[in-house]
Structure 1
Amino acid sequence: MRELFASVAITLLCARAVSPVAAEEPSLTAEAILEKADEVRNPQMDYIVMATITSVKPHGSSTTATYRVLVKGRDRAVVQTLSPPIDTGRVMLMRGKDLWVFLPTISKPLRISLRERLMGDVANGDIARANFSGDYTPALTKQERLEDRTYDVLDLKAKAPDVTYARVVLWVDHDTFAPARAEFYAVSGRLLKTCSYEDYRLLGGMLRPSQLVMHDATVKDQRSTITYDQMTVTPLPEKYFTKDYMKKFME
Structure 2
Amino acid sequence: MKHRKVALVAALLVGAASAASADEAVPLALPSSAAATAAPASENGAPVQQDAQAQHIIRMADRVRAPDQPFRYTVKLNEFQAGKSVNQQTLDISMRFYKFSERAPKGDARALVRFVEPVRDKGKAMLSDYEKMWYYAPDLRRPIPISKQQRLIGQISNGDVVAADFDYSYVSQLQGEEPCGKAVCYRLTLQRRWPFVTYPKIMYWVEKDTFYPYRADFMSDSGVVIKRSYYSDFRPEIGQMRPHRIVVEDSLRKDYYTTMDYSDVRYESLPESYFQIDYLMRLN
Same fold? TM cut 0.5: yes
Distance 1:204 1:63 in 2: 30
Distance 2:177 2:261 in 1: 28
* Structure 2 segments unaligned to the other structure (5+ residues): 7-22, 24-51, 98-107
1:83 aligned onto 2:117: yes
Map of 2:89 onto structure 1: 65
Tell me the secondary structure at the aligned position of residue 64 of structure 2.
helix
**What is the correspondence of 1:1-251 to structure 2 with a 5 Å cutoff?**
29-58=53-82, 60-73=84-97, 75-146=109-180, 149-249=183-283, 251=284
Tell me the secondary structure at the aligned position of residue 55 of structure 2.
helix
Contact 2:3 2:233 in 1 (8 A): no
Letter in 2 for 1:180: Y
Map of 1:13 onto structure 2: none
Letter in 2 for 1:65: Q
- Deviation per CA, 1:66-121, whole angstroms, max 9, x where unpaired? 00000011620011000111211110001111000011101111111111111110
Distance 2:182 2:117 in 1: 41
1:131–1:59 distance in 2 versus 1, CA, 3 Å = same
Letter in 1 for 2:192: A
1:220–1:33 distance in 2 versus 1, CA, 3 Å = closer
Tell me the secondary structure at the aligned position of residue 282 of structure 2.
helix
Distance 1:128 1:145 in 2: 29
Distance 2:55 2:226 in 1: 24
Tell me the secondary structure at the aligned position of residue 164 of structure 1.
coil
Report the TM-score when normalising by structure 1. 0.85
1:245–1:170 distance in 2 versus 1, CA, 3 Å = same
Identity over the aligned pairs, expressed in percent?
Answer: 31
Letter in 2 for 1:163: V
Distance 2:58 2:254 in 1: 30
Greater fraction of residues in helix: 1
- Root-mean-square deviation (Å): 2.0
Distance 1:202 1:33 in 2: 20
* Structure 1 segments unaligned to the other structure (5+ residues): 9-24
Distance 2:226 2:77 in 1: 18
Report the TM-score when normalising by structure 2. 0.76
Contact 2:66 2:163 in 1 (8 A): no
Contact 1:102 1:108 in 2 (8 A): yes
1:193–1:139 distance in 2 versus 1, CA, 3 Å = same
Tell me the secondary structure at the aligned position of residue 75 of structure 1.
strand
Contact 1:75 1:129 in 2 (8 A): no
- Deviation per CA, 1:148-175, whole angstroms, max 9, x where unpaired? 5221111110111211111111111112
